[in-house]
Structure 1
Amino acid sequence: MEYRALGRSELKVSAVCLGTMTFGQQNSEAEGHAQLDRAVAAGINFIDTAEMYPVPARAETYGATERIVGSWLKRQARDQVVIATKAAGPARRMEWIRGGPLAFDLANLRRALEDSLQRLQTDYVDLYQLHWPARNQPMFGQWQFEPEQERESTPLRETLEALAVLVQEGKIRQVGVSNEHPWGVMEFLRLAREHGLPAIASTQNAYNLINRLYDTGGLSEVCFRERVSLLAYSPLAFGHLSGKYLADAKAAGRITAFPGFGQRYEKVNVPPALAAYRELAARHGLSMTGLALAFCYNRPGVTSTIIGATSLAQLEENLEAWERRPGAEQWRAIQTDIDAVHQRYPNPAL
């Protein structure tokens, strides 16, 4: 396993991160603990969760994922594990989370963090992330900015000042964002410089073969020049890049278990793009899963790839893709073919 600096911080995180969003919905506590144990045995030191998990988010299961991670974490050497969690923001209908939640202000962030710490059974989190922006911006499958959707939101400076208080109290080591766009990343960095506030270390964004907005929308240059880490989530596009839904549209998985989940993958060019990547993988002697994960594992801008699984067998396949990723010469040939497919089907699941 490789360990890489998280942004400009002193934190070192494994190149593969275990995502836990299935714990408490599709996975029991025992299954979650088994995955966490296997991940650590493979050298993973980076665990990602969120207050709103598991998904799909429901009042009945809210907070279950952090509780499962917490019951595992209490028997670990705390300083050997990097725990990342996230605060849910406004603009999504989840009234069971702090009554809204209403804002990224100090009162809401303090309550969110302290509740997460209690569930995680720890005194601090290594990386605390804003799960999505409070302001109006396209996300989760929306493809264009809509000025008419403007709404009131907590000013970014106020949010960063609130996070600074929590950092000073020792409850957060580093701060990050998620589902962000170039303007948000640059504005957070500008405010940090001008007002002596914590600089964001990372952005956690969807990134995979059929959603490369990070590459094409300007964020890759911003993160490279500003040394902000990309934590790539959904590398298998909710299972689509495993090929299982090409083989059987009713295959078991989140897409079939939860109708309406992952709507960004229902767009018209997704099926032909998936078929093209399946053919490409076979041509190079790889499974679709192996190809999709190797893409993220080999991208220079990706600090850590967040893998998630509902079984140990799936987790083993993801770990094997890291151990058996193609060598440099083979990867150059594969990347050339990936670029050709991307030219035909640019960002079909944007």
Structure 2
Amino acid sequence: MRKKPLGRTGLQVSELCLGSMTWGTQNSLQEGHAQIDRALERGVNFIDTAEMYPTTPISAGTTGRTEEIIGEWFAGTGRRGDVILATKHSGAGFKNARDGAPISAKTIPEAIEGSLRRLKTDCIDLYQFHWPNRGSYMFRKNWAYDPSGQNREETLAHMQESLEALQREVDRGTIRHFGLSNESAWGTAQWLRLSEAGHGPRAASIQNEYSLMCRLYDTDLAELGVNEDVGLLAFSPLAAGFLTGKYQGGAVPDGSRMAINGDLGGRKTGRAFEAVDAYLVIAHKHGLDPAQMALAWCLTRPFMCSAIFGATTPEQLDLALGAGFITLSDEVLDEIATVHKEHPMPY
């Protein structure tokens, strides 16, 4: 599988990243371990997780279980060196971790120590902030986004404090690199500016939602990412399963995310089904599996570092892994561009 640079870190990561947020609820320990084995066999070297996982569904009783499952794989196989490992600090609002305390110089070392313990490792390769303290327009909040209540000086002071705390962790050897998640162009630019002023590690990546049906990244963040070498780690590249076609015609497969979370985090709209129909026409016309087409398209984007996919069955896993070996024709890419213009922002 092709590898791409992770920002300016010097690391090379597989262009498909194994997501893990179902391990501990929809998937057992044994299934999670089997997924890691299979993904590495097919050339993946990058695994993404978070201290709050699993999220399907979220509960106090399972928080942290996904990291534990990964840690038990490391302990059982001795293959920690074969994986570039990314995890995340939950931050404000997540009551199951540090009572919902925001990201700060106090919570950063606490969160890292917890993740290290669960992951059974002494160092995290990419440590990410799950959400900005000031809030985010992601997860359908873009429709009514209003940043006018933000306090610029408080935000910048928090960023500087956090970078300095992260640098202490880099110096201590508990993390190697820093990444963002659910961030904006302005926010990312400020993190970079403060880092370049000497306050701490440079952001290597940004993990935001991106797919054929969610293309908020395509303008300002795309320009920033390309010019500043901050690669996109795309989450939900299959639009929470929409782009597989499995929800068309009113279908709700047992055990699917729609069965667990009825509106798929606000993605379930009439226009979403219409957009999926249009993408399915392209896939069928060209003899492509729609899920593989959607993932392979993500990999064509000039700002893409790695697309994070998840699977709950071995069949889904193998299908997704196959996308890393597909090249889409110019005709397919042109037809996808036409559908995007006809069905922009369907949720």
TM-score bracket, shorter-length normalisation: over 0.9
Aligned pairs (5 A) from 1:104-119:
104-119=103-118
In 2, the alpha carbon distance for the partners of 1:10 and 1:76 equals 24
Once residues 108 and 312 of structure 1 are traced to their aligned partners in structure 2, the CA distance between those partners, rounded to angstroms, is: 37
Q: Any idea what SS the aligned residue of 2:180 has?
A: strand
Shift of 1:260: 4.4
Residue matched to 1:40 = 40
1:334 partner letter: V
What is the TM-score of this pair, normalised by structure 2? 0.94
Matched, 1:65 2:66: yes
Question: Percent identity at matched positions?
Answer: 44
1:21 paired to 2:21: yes
Q: Is the 8 A contact 1:231 1:303 kept in 2?
A: yes
Residue 11 of structure 1 is matched in structure 2 by 11
2: CA distance between counterparts of 1:335 and 1:244? 22
Matches within 5 A, 1:128-139: 128-139=127-138
Cα distance between partner residues in 2 of 1:50 and 1:115: 11
C-alpha deviation, 1:255, in angstroms:
3.1
3-state secondary structure, aligned to 2:291? helix
Kindly tell me the number of residue pairs found equivalent between the two proteins.
341
Q: Is 1:187–2:190 an aligned residue pair? A: yes
How many angstroms apart in 1 are the aligned matches of 2:184 and 2:255? 29
1:44 and 1:18 map into 2 onto residues whose CA distance is 7
Which stretch shifts more, 21-30 or 265-274? 265-274
Displacement after TM superposition at 1:117 (Å): 0.3
- The structure 1 residue matched to 2:167, chosen from 164, 167, 192, is 164
Cα distance, 1:163–1:290 mapped onto 2, change above 3 Å = same
Runs of 4+ off more than 3 Å? 147-154
**Once the 2 structures are TM-superposed, how far is the Cα of residue 51 of structure 1 from its aligned partner?**
0.1
Local SS of the residue matching 1:265 = coil
Aligned 8 A contact 1:255 1:261 in 2: no
Task: Check whether the contact 2:252–2:259 (CA below 8 A) recurs between aligned residues.
Answer: no
Aligned counterparts of 1:267 and 1:149: Cα–Cα separation in 2 = 29
Question: C-alpha distance in 1, partners of 2:134/2:295?
Answer: 32
Which of 220, 223, 242 lines up with 2:222 in the alignment?
220
Partner residue of 2:158 out of 155, 159, 173: 155
CA distance in 1, matches of 2:7, 2:23: 28
Return 5+ residue gaps in structure 1 as ranges. none
SS in structure 1 at match of 2:27: coil
* Aligned 8 A contact 1:239 1:253 in 2: no
Partner of 1:230: 232
Read off the aligned partner of 2:2 and give its amino acid letter: E
2:127 and 2:276 mapped to 1: Cα distance?
34
What SS does the aligned partner of 2:278 have?
A: helix
Q: What is the identity, as a one-letter code, of the residue corresponding to 1:71?
A: E
Is 8-17 or 71-80 further displaced after alignment?
A: 71-80
In the alignment, what sits opposite 1:103? 102
Tell me if structure 2 keeps the 8 A contact 1:294–1:321: yes
Check 1:232–1:84 CA distance in 2 against 1; reply closer, same or farther (3 A cut). same
| Cα drift, residue 293 of structure 1 | 1.1
TM-superposition CA deviations, 1:31-58 (whole Å, max 9, x none): 0000000011111110110000000321
**Could you report, residue by residue, the CA deviation over 1:85-120 in whole angstroms, capped at 9, with x for unpaired residues?**
000011x3x3221111x1211211111110000000
Q: Please, which moves more after superposition, 146-155 or 174-183?
A: 146-155
Q: Find the aligned partners of 2:317 and 2:249 in 1 and give their Cα distance.
A: 20
SS in 2 for 1:347: coil
Q: Determine the C-alpha separation between the residues in 1 that align with 2:267 and 2:5.
A: 32
1:190-339 matches, within 5 Å, as 190-216=193-219, 218-260=220-262, 262-323=264-325, 325-326=326-327, 330=329, 332-339=330-337
Task: Letter of the 2:341 partner, please give it.
Answer: Q
TM-score by length of 1: 0.93
> Which sections of structure 2, spanning at least 5 residues, go unmatched?
none
User: Structure 2 CA distance, aligned partners of 1:8 and 1:230?
Assistant: 13
